[in-house]
Amino acid sequence: MRYFFFLFLLFPVLSFAQESSSKSSKAQFVVLGECEMCKDRIQRATYKIKGVKYSSWSIPQNKLSIIYNSNKVSLDEIKKKIAEAGHDSEDFKATDQAYANLHNCCKYDRQKQL
C-alpha cells in the first residue's frame, strides 16, 4: 500500500516532466510580401502547421517571428509551407504558379535580395 501511495504522488511529477520536454524554438527570418493580405496569408499558412504556437509577420520589415515546437516541425518545413502559399524566403522560393496565383497587390519584387 505504501508503494501505491508513493506512485500516486509521483505520477503528477512524471506527467509534468513529459509536458515540459516539448522544445519551443524561436526564429525570425525574411519572407517577401507587400500588404495586409500577404500578412494574413503568411500567418495562416504557418498556423495550419502542427507545432506552430505563434506567428507574426511584419509588413515594413518583411520579417516573420515564429515560435514552434521543434519536436513536431522543423523550420525548413515551415518555410516550405510559406513558399507553397506563394511567398519567398531565403531558403525556399515559391513556385512560379504559386506566385502567379497571388492577388496583384501581393506581387512582391522576386529579384529583391533576401
Residue extents of the structural domains in the chain: 23-106
pTM for the full model? 0.79
The pLDDT value recorded for residue 21 is: 56
Query: Please, which residues bridge with residue 65 across strands?
Result: 28, 56
CATH architecture of the domain 23-106 equals 2-Layer Sandwich (3.30)
Mean per-residue pLDDT of the chain = 87
Q: Please state, in angstroms and rounded to a whole number, the distance separating the CA atoms of residues 107 and 12.
A: 52
Cell numbers describing residue 48: 495550419
Selection from 83, 23, 85, 18 nearest residue 53 by Cα: 23
For the chain, give percent helix, strand, coil, nearest 5. Answer: 40, 20, 40
How would residue 15 be classed by pLDDT, with cut points 50, 70 and 90?
very low
Per-residue pLDDT, averaged over 50-62, amounts to 97
Radius of gyration of the chain (CA): 20
pLDDT > 70? residue 76: yes
> Is pLDDT larger for residue 71 or for residue 5?
71
Residue identified by cell 507587400 is 34
